[in-house]
């Protein structure tokens, strides 16, 4: 074991700052808090050992994610051999009927709450508080929707790969993603863009 990194090492704080993102990534892949925690821990330790080799060709987050990906695959293999498959989830409840759409659209198929025009939305990218709001909105998604959205839009996995991993049909996958997008836009409109306009 290499000597434990100390808190005073500035690189420690830099890497540590990405922990919440890495935890989201690990959870989306492993669906088990304890395993995810373990993967992130191993990733951060490995990253500290290898940080001198990080050339800055990609962002620090991208580099950390590539390390984490290997730790996740490793743990998936170990978990598979130790016990049976991770149980299949909550999808029926989340994707099944489309009654939830009735809350968003009226009988004539119109928006109940019209999406408004967000002015210069990308200016938000520069603001730390926007990213807090963004993560807060991700956290409010139902678990399966959050996981599928993370894999699809944030990690950029192919839809058919996600369907296979999650054991669902493509059309279920689309319904879940659609729902996640509707929920996220509504959450951001309420918690960010609405407030922005009021400021």
Partner 1 sequence: MEKKPPAETVDCRAASRLLSIAYERKLTAGESESLTYHLDRCLMCRNFDSQLKFLHRASEKFRTGNG
Q: Of the candidates 154, 161, 190, 194, which one interacts with partner 1 according to CB under 8 A?
A: 154
Radius of gyration, CA atoms only, the chain: 19
177 binds partner 1 (CB under 8 A): yes
- Closest Cα to residue 27, out of 19, 15, 37, 42? 37
> What's the CA gap between 25 and 156, in Å, rounded?
12
Q: Of the candidates 65, 94, 141, 142, which one interacts with partner 1 according to CB under 8 A?
A: 65
Alpha carbon distances (Å) from 68 to 25, 41, 46, 128: 8, 9, 9, 24
**Checking phi first, is residue 57 left (phi over 0); if not, alpha (psi -120 to 50) or beta?**
alpha
28 binds partner 1 (CB under 8 A): no
Task: Quote the tokens at residue 16.
Answer: 């540590």
Q: Of the candidates 49, 86, 96, 116, which one interacts with partner 1 according to CB under 8 A?
A: 116
Q: Of the candidates 6, 34, 62, 84, which one interacts with partner 1 according to CB under 8 A?
A: 62
Q: Of the candidates 23, 45, 51, 155, which one interacts with partner 1 according to CB under 8 A?
A: 155
Residues across the chain:
199
In the complex, the residues that contact partner 1 under the rule CB under 8 A are 18, 21, 58-62, 65, 101, 104-105, 108-111, 114-118, 121-122, 124-125, 130-131, 134, 152-156, 159, 170, 173-174, 177-178, 181-182, 184-185, 188-189
């Amino acid at each position: 074991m290499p000597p434990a990194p100390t808190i005073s090492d500035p690189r420690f704080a830099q890497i540590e700052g990405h922990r919440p993102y890495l935890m989201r990534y690990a959870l989306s892949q492993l669906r088990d808090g304890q395993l995810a925690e373990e993967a992130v821990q191993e990733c951060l330790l490995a990253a500290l050992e290898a940080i001198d080799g990080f050339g800055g060709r990609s962002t620090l987050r991208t580099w950390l994610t590539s390390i984490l990906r290997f730790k996740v695959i490793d743990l998936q293999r170990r978990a598979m051999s130790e016990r049976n498959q991770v149980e299949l989830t909550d999808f029926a409840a989340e994707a099944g009927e489309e009654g939830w759409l009735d809350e968003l659209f009226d009988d004539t198929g119109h928006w109940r709450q019209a999406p408004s025009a967000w002015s210069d939305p990308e200016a938000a990218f520069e603001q730390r508080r926007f990213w807090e709001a963004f993560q807060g909105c991700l956290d409010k998604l139902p678990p399966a929707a959050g996981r599928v959205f993370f894999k699809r839009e944030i990690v950029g996995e192919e839809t058919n790969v996600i369907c296979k991993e999650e054991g669902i049909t493509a059309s279920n996958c689309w319904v879940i993603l659609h729902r996640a997008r509707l929920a996220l836009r509504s959450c951001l409109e309420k918690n960010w863009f609405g407030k922005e306009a009021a400021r």
